[in-house]
C-alpha cells in the first residue's frame, strides 16, 4: 500500500508543475476542463504513459461551429478527443519512472486512476486550483476504457464536488 501513497504524492507534484504550464500555454483562452489520462496499453507489462487534455470555451466554440450537423455542447465540452491534447508531458517524468521502473509497475489501471483521483482531491483540499485559476475548472479523467460511466461520474464528483460536477453528471450520456 505504501506505493499508492508515494504515487499519489508524485502525481500531486506533477500536477503542481503541469497545471501552471498549461495556463501559460493556453491562458490566452478561458480554460474550462483539464482531463488526465493514464495508459499502459494492454496492462501486461507495457510502459505507462500520461496524456493531459485541456478544453477552453474558445476551443469548444470553434469545434461546435465546425460541426454542421447538430453540435452537442456537452460533447464538445467534455469529450477529451475534442480538446487540446498534450501527450507525455515532461512534468510526469517522475511518475512514469516510478510506474515503469520498479515494484509499482505491477499496479493495475484502476489503482493508478485511484491515485490520480486522490491527488486531485488533496490538491482541491489545499485550494491549489483556486490559486492558479480565477474561476472554477473541472478536473476529469479519461478512463472510459477502464471504468463504466457510473464509476467515472463518481470519480468526477469526488475530484470536483457535486456543484462543479453538475453539468458533467447530468450530460454524461453525450460523451461517455
Show me where the domains of the chain are located. Answer: 2-174
Say how far apart CA 164 and CA 159 lie, in whole Å: 10
Are residues 130 and 19 in contact, defined by beta-carbon separation less than 8 angstroms?
Answer: no
Residue 89's SS3 state is coil
pLDDT digits (tens, 9 = 90+) for 87-122: 888 899 999 888 888 766 677 889 999 999 999 999
Say which range, 18-22, 30-34, 64-68, 156-160, has the weakest mean pLDDT.
64-68
pTM comes to 0.92
Tell me what the pLDDT averaged over the chain comes to: 91
Q: Give mean pLDDT, residues 20-32.
A: 94
Amino acid at each position: 500500500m505504501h506505493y499508492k501513497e508515494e504515487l499519489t504524492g508524485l502525481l500531486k507534484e506533477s500536477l503542481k508543475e503541469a497545471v501552471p504550464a498549461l495556463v501559460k500555454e493556453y491562458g490566452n483562452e478561458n480554460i474550462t476542463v483539464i482531463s488526465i489520462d493514464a495508459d499502459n496499453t494492454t496492462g501486461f507489462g507495457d510502459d505507462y504513459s500520461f496524456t493531459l487534455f485541456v478544453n477552453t470555451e474558445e476551443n469548444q466554440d470553434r469545434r461546435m461551429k465546425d460541426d454542421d450537423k447538430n453540435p452537442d455542447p456537452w460533447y464538445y465540452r467534455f469529450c477529451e478527443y475534442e480538446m487540446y491534447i498534450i501527450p507525455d508531458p515532461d512534468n510526469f517524468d517522475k511518475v512514469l519512472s516510478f510506474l515503469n521502473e520498479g515494484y509499482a509497475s505491477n499496479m493495475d489501471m484502476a489503482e493508478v486512476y485511484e491515485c490520480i483521483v486522490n491527488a486531485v482531491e488533496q490538491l482541491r483540499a489545499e485550494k491549489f486550483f483556486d490559486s492558479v485559476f480565477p474561476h472554477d475548472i473541472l478536473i476529469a479523467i479519461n478512463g472510459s476504457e477502464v471504468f463504466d460511466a457510473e464509476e467515472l461520474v463518481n470519480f468526477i464528483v469526488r475530484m470536483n464536488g457535486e456543484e462543479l460536477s453538475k453539468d458533467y453528471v447530468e450530460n454524461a450520456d453525450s460523451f461517455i
